């Protein structure tokens, strides 16, 4: 059996080879050399807000995500590389934090004030929790990627 028709393009692409002129300035531990773009200061809050809106943190107009939660490899408008930004568990953590702090007091207030039927209560709050979580998750992921971009963290 031969497998010569493979068209996979997601094989590890070698990183763009940016060489410093001074070999002594090269990182010793094999970390990616970010000295080439380490010049200008990046404002964190505009980048976080652009990411929250699902936009590229650099230009604010290109889309940041290519599906519900997948970060694009690069911005289609300004060509900013985005593939090395990894939010990991951060968006899920923030989503749980926010949804919990909104819905738990609301559950208490609704229960104490109106004493609705348990089935009605659980139906409304289940849909509310799921809907709010699905709304917030990609936005918070964008916000975290925007923050990472502004701080040049390139993932964890």
* Mask for 20-59, x = binds Zn ion (CB under 5 A): ------------------------------------x-xx
Query: Which residue, 137, 149, 2, is CA-closest to 78?
Result: 149
Closer residue to Zn ion in complex, CB, 56/71: 56
Q: Which residues have C-beta within 8 Å of that of residue 137, sequence separation ≥ 6?
A: 69, 91, 92, 95
Provide, rounded to whole angstroms, the least separation between the CB of residue 77 and Zn ion: 5
- Asked if 62 interacts with Zn ion (CB under 5 A), we say yes
Provide, rounded to whole angstroms, the least separation between the CB of residue 75 and Zn ion: 3
CA 12/CA 126 separation, integer angstroms: 41
- Asked if 77 interacts with Zn ion (CB under 5 A), we say yes
Closer residue to Zn ion in complex, CB, 50/99: 50
CA 47/CA 39 separation, integer angstroms: 17
Closer residue to Zn ion in complex, CB, 77/92: 77
Task: Give the alpha-carbon dihedral of 95, 51, 154, 45, to 10 degrees.
Answer: -100
- How many other C-beta atoms are found inside a 10 Å radius of the C-beta of residue 102? 14
Q: For binding to Zn ion (CB under 5 A), which residues are involved?
A: 56, 58-59, 62, 75, 77-78, 80
């Amino acid at each position: 059996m031969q497998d010569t028709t493979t068209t996979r393009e997601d094989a590890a692409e070698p990183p763009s080879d940016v060489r410093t002129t001074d070999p002594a300035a090269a990182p010793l531990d094999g970390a990616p050399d970010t000295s080439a773009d380490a010049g200008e200061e990046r404002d964190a809050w505009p980048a976080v807000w652009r990411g929250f809106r699902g936009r590229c943190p650099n230009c604010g107009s290109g889309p940041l995500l290519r599906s519900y939660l997948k970060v694009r490899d690069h911005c289609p408008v300004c060509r900013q590389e985005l593939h090395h930004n990894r939010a990991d568990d951060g968006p899920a953590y923030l989503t749980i934090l926010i949804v919990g702090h909104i819905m738990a007091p609301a559950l208490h207030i609704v229960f104490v004030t109106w004493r609705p039927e348990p089935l009605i209560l659980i139906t409304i709050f289940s849909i509310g929790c799921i809907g709010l979580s699905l709304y917030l998750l990609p936005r918070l992921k964008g916000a975290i990627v925007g923050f990472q971009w502004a701080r040049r963290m390139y993932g964890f």
